[in-house]
Amino acid sequence: MRLSSGQEALVTRVLAEDGRVGFGFSLQLDATEARHMAMHDAGLRAERPRIAPVLGHPWESAWASNLPIPWEAEPGFSRLRWLP
């Protein structure tokens, strides 16, 4: 998705068999990084991915501080439509 700054981000969603949902992102457009983050968020991966901040974006700052990701910081996130 395109961020407010004009940069691009790869955003992923994973669905666990029991219905849990996890989201992840990569500002380096690295699909594995984003997928592993989403898997960790959904409780499907114990190891928390190490993400090196590259833009100083609020999502990166939250992840680095082990805080909830403020998805609402990007208006485009709420406009994403996910397949069932």
Could you tell me the residue range of the domain that residue 15 belongs to?
A: 10-78
Helix H or strand E encompassing 34: helix 31-41
Model pTM score: 0.91
| Integer angstrom CA distances of residue 81 from 43, 47, 55, 69, 84 | 22, 28, 25, 19, 9
Residue 84 binned pLDDT confidence (cut-offs 50, 70, 90)? confident
Query: Given pLDDT bands bounded at 50, 70 and 90, which one contains residue 52?
Result: confident
Domain contains 1: no
What residues contact residue 19 under an 8 Å CB cut-off, 6+ apart?
A: none
| CA–CA distances in Å: residue 54 to residues 3, 35, 38, 51, 60 | 14, 18, 19, 9, 8
How does strand 21-26 pair with strand 10-15? antiparallel
pLDDT digits (tens, 9 = 90+) for 9-28: 999 999 999 999 999 999 99
Number of separate domains in the chain: 1
Residue 73 DSSP one-character state: G
- Is residue 58 situated within a structural domain? yes
- The reply to whether 5 falls in a domain is no
